[in-house]
């Protein structure tokens, strides 16, 4: 066993100690010094900002309200930067408008209403929707206004009825004024002009609306609009929020099948066509029992037509006149009166169709051209049916025993005076009216005795 003395151990251990220390310094991680910059770390990619967009065009109806409310909900769930509503409407139903504005005022996502494209308008209900937006903008050559209530339902009475209609219209107008002034104060917009838009139906161009502080800005397109409002602060339900819309990606939210179907039903012209398809289909089934298809199609079309008119609140007097027209059409077929009842039915139908939506705004009325066209088709249909019935009454009987009178046939055996004849595809026992008739001779039926024919020879 070899033992090292102290000096030898020191001389041998020092180099080993230095080697181990150097190796540790090489392999150990070196912390950054205070003066030296830290190594750059990969930065997280910034989140892409998204703006949802919908296009609201045409009449404001239940389908529109469902579409807007769904878009607001989806934008909130997706934490979108904003919801952009491109608006072009002549107005619509008060209930649908109220549903939209209420949802906009309580939305958790900023809502931008943009009246566009050029030539578009935000009339009637469109004024309320524009005022309810967090940011209101218009494209050049657009207009806003004319928000006076038009439709109040009911009939066209005289005297006391007209006074009641006037009182009701005044109540509706005052309610609309209170509503839009409250929205204007909430959004910091011109409440006095909004009241004049409701009471006096005033209209403003985009430039005038900007000067009157009705809208916030004018933008020629969506990209310019999003750049212009970038950095703007809007007041939300939970406090102020700063918009970051420049360069945001736009996602379209389209109407679903249900909303498209409801929008179609909200058109009074479509409802009018469905109503008449239903009338014709049911009458066809009544006159031809067992066809089934006309009855099924007519029943569905009639229900959809009535549902469409329930949406736009039609005049009951118009429906009664159309019902009277149908009664006249049926009566003229059952008791032919040379077309007089059909003519009266056509007149009743035309006046009923005109009265049906007479109290509505022009964009919610049935087209006069459509009314006249459908009336002409109905008149032609029922006149044809009446004519066919009258021709059938004048025509000779061609079936049964009465149909044998005057029919011709061939003697299959000699008639001396009785034998067999072939008439209308059948063999009959026959008796010669006078004399005898030879086999193969042509004969004509001149009488009937029970199941035996009386015949005479035909030259």
pLDDT in tens, 334-371: 676 666 787 888 899 999 999 888 777 777 788 889 99
Query: Are β-strands 233-236 and 143-145 bridged in parallel, bridged antiparallel, or unpaired?
Result: unpaired
Of the pLDDT bands very low, low, confident and very high (cuts 50, 70, 90), residue 10 is very low
Distance CA 64, CA 311 (A): 13
**354 and 417 both lie in a single domain:** no
pLDDT at 125 (0 to 100):
93
pLDDT beyond 70 at 452: yes
CATH number for 84: 3.90.226.10
As annotated, the active-site residues are 124, 171
pLDDT at 6 (0 to 100):
40
How much is the mean pLDDT over the chain?
82
Give domain status of residue 36, yes or no: no
Sequence-ordered list of residues with C-beta below 8 angstroms from that of 186, at least 6 positions apart, any chain: 105, 132
Structure tokens at 392: 């059938």
Q: What is the DSSP string of 157-180?
A: --THHHHHHHHHHHHHHHHHHHHH
Give domain status of residue 7, yes or no: no
**Tokens 């990606």 correspond to what residue?**
249
Look at residues 353, 376, 394 and tell me which one is the last residue of a structural domain. 394
**190 and 331 both lie in a single domain:** no
pLDDT beyond 50 at 320: yes
CATH number for 452: 2.40.50.140
Give domain status of residue 433, yes or no: yes
pLDDT at 165 (0 to 100):
66
Sequence-ordered list of residues with C-beta below 8 angstroms from that of 125, at least 6 positions apart, any chain: 60, 89, 91, 92, 93, 94, 96, 97, 100, 147
Q: What backbone torsions phi and psi does residue 213 show, to the nearest 5 degrees?
A: 60, 40
Query: Are β-strands 143-145 and 121-123 bridged in parallel, bridged antiparallel, or unpaired?
Result: parallel
CA–CA distances in Å: residue 321 to residues 44, 338, 346: 71, 22, 10
Using DSSP, state whether 48 is helix, strand or coil.
coil
pLDDT at 47 (0 to 100):
61
- Helix ranges (DSSP H) in 28-92: 62-77
**310 and 430 both lie in a single domain:** no
pLDDT beyond 50 at 56: yes
**245 and 272 both lie in a single domain:** no
**211 and 276 both lie in a single domain:** no
Give domain status of residue 138, yes or no: yes
pLDDT at 40 (0 to 100):
47
**242 and 125 both lie in a single domain:** yes
Of the pLDDT bands very low, low, confident and very high (cuts 50, 70, 90), residue 327 is confident
Look at residues 226, 256, 286 and tell me which one is the last residue of a structural domain. 256
**Tokens 């008639």 correspond to what residue?**
415
**75 and 113 both lie in a single domain:** yes
Sequence-ordered list of residues with C-beta below 8 angstroms from that of 67, at least 6 positions apart, any chain: 54, 56, 255, 259
Q: Which of 24-28, 98-102, 130-134, 235-239 has the lowest mean pLDDT?
A: 24-28
What pLDDT digit, counting tens, does each position of 182-225 carry? 999 999 999 999 999 999 999 999 999 999 999 999 999 999 99
Distance CA 23, CA 262 (A): 80
**424 and 374 both lie in a single domain:** no
Positions of E strands within 135-275 = 135-138, 143-145, 203-205, 217-218, 233-236, 239-242, 249-252
Q: What backbone torsions phi and psi does residue 26 show, to the nearest 5 degrees?
A: -75, -45
Give domain status of residue 248, yes or no: yes
221 secondary structure, DSSP code: S
Full domain range(s) for residue 63: 50-155+169-256
Nearest to 142 by CA among 180, 90, 197: 90
Number of domains into which the chain is organized: 3
pLDDT beyond 80 at 256: yes
pLDDT at 155 (0 to 100):
42
Give domain status of residue 9, yes or no: no
pLDDT at 180 (0 to 100):
95
pLDDT beyond 70 at 159: no
**384 and 434 both lie in a single domain:** no
Give domain status of residue 44, yes or no: no
Distance CA 303, CA 315 (A): 17
**102 and 232 both lie in a single domain:** yes
pLDDT beyond 50 at 135: yes
Distance CA 398, CA 395 (A): 9
pLDDT beyond 90 at 253: yes
**414 and 303 both lie in a single domain:** no
Look at residues 229, 256, 283 and tell me which one is the last residue of a structural domain. 256
**410 and 445 both lie in a single domain:** yes
pLDDT at 415 (0 to 100):
86
Give domain status of residue 86, yes or no: yes
What pLDDT digit, counting tens, does each position of 93-134 carry? 889 999 999 999 999 999 999 999 999 999 999 999 999 999
pLDDT beyond 80 at 158: no
More confident position, 378 or 418 = 418
pLDDT beyond 50 at 7: no
What pLDDT digit, counting tens, does each position of 61-102 carry? 999 999 999 999 999 999 999 999 999 999 988 899 999 999
């Amino acid at each position: 066993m070899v033992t090292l003395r102290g000096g030898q151990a020191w001389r041998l251990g020092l180099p080993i100690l230095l080697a181990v220390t150097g190796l540790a310094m090489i392999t150990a991680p070196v912390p950054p010094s205070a003066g030296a910059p830290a190594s750059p770390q990969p930065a997280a990619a910034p989140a892409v900002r998204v703006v949802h967009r919908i296009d609201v065009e045409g009449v404001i109806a239940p389908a529109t309200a469902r579409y807007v409310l769904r878009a607001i909900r989806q934008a909130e769930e997706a934490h979108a930067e904003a919801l952009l509503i491109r608006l072009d409407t002549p107005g619509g139903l008060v209930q649908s408008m109220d549903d939209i504005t209420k949802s906009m005022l309580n939305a958790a996502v900023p809502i931008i209403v943009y009246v566009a494209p050029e030539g578009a308008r935000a009339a009637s209900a469109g004024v309320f929707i524009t005022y309810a937006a967090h940011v209101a903008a218009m494209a050049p050559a657009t207009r806003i206004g004319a928000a006076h209530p038009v439709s109040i339902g009911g009939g066209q009475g005289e005297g006391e009825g007209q006074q009641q209609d006037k009182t009701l219209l005044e109540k509706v107008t005052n309610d609309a004024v209170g509503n839009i002034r409250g929205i204007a104060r909430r959004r910091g917009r011109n409440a006095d002009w909004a009241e004049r838009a409701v009471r006096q139906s005033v209209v403003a161009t985009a430039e005038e609306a900007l000067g009157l502080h009705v809208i916030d800005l004018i933008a020629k397109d969506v990209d310019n609009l999003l750049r212009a409002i970038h950095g703007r602060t809007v007041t939300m339900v939970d406090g102020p929020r700063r918009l970051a819309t420049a360069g945001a990606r736009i996602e379209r939210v389209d109407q679903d099948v249900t909303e498209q179907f409801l929008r179609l039903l909200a058109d009074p012209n479509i409802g009018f066509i469905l109503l008449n398809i239903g009338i014709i289909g049911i009458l066809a089934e009544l006159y031809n029992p067992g066809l089934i298809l006309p009855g099924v199609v007519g029943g569905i079309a009639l229900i959809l037509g009535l549902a469409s008119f329930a949406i736009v609140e039609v005049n009951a007097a118009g429906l009664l006149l159309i019902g009277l027209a149908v009664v006249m059409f049926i009566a003229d077929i059952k008791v032919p009166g040379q077309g007089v009842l059909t003519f009266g039915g056509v007149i009743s139908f035309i006046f009923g169709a005109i009265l049906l939506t007479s109290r509505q705004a022009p964009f919610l009325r049935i087209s006069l051209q459509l009314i006249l066209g459908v009336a002409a088709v109905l008149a032609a249909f029922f006149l044809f049916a009446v004519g066919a019935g009258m021709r059938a009454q004048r025509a000779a009987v061609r079936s049964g025993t009465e149909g044998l009178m005057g029919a011709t046939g061939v003697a299959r055996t000699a008639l001396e005076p009785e034998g067999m004849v072939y008439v209308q595809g059948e063999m009959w026992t026959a008796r010669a009216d006078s004399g005898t008739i030879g086999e193969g001779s042509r004969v004509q039926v001149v009488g009937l005795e029970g199941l035996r024919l009386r015949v005479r020879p035909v030259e």
